Amino acid sequence: MKADRRSFDHSGRAGHDAAGTGPANRKEDQSFPMNWQVYIIHCSDNSLYTGITTDLTRRLRQHAAGRGAKYFRGRRPEKVLYLETGHTRSTASRREAEIKGLTHADKCLLAGAEQNEVVNAEEIPAGLLKMPFFGVC
């Protein structure tokens, strides 16, 4: 069996050298992709699901087919209520956690917020677009 030739730092992460130029410093690199999106979906049981992706159309199709998150195995996605773009994987994950900590009512308020980009998202399938949602939240 050949030994792994990657270097490890003291935390056990691969690929880091003493100069700190390994993968851990990518978030400081301005050329790192900022194509992650944070979204909120209104579900058939009136719950709200928050997630992240790089391809919203693909992810919505996965959710609708039951191949996405286990959350959708007992409920259907109905409408995309909220979308934020321009994140790195790290910032999207942090924002997702922040949104998941909000109350249902606060998440509904996000749907009407100025930073909501769902109204400009042409790639979202028509059946999952934000609609007037009186009584939804």
- Return mean pLDDT, the chain: 75
pLDDT the model gives residue 89: 96
Task: Dihedral sign for Cα 100, 78, 39, 36, please.
Answer: positive
pLDDT the model gives residue 11: 43
DSSP 3: P
Task: Tell me how far CA of residue 66 lies from CA of 5, 62, 73, 74, in angstroms.
Answer: 40, 6, 6, 9
What are the residue ranges in the chain where pLDDT is below 50? 1, 4-29, 130-135
Q: Domains, the chain, ranges and CATH?
A: 36-128 (3.40.1440)
Task: Dihedral sign for Cα 113, 84, 95, 44, please.
Answer: positive
pLDDT the model gives residue 39: 95
pLDDT the model gives residue 122: 54
Task: Tell me how far CA of residue 107 lies from CA of 10, 100, 113, in angstroms.
Answer: 40, 8, 10
DSSP 46: S
Q: What is the pTM of this model?
A: 0.68
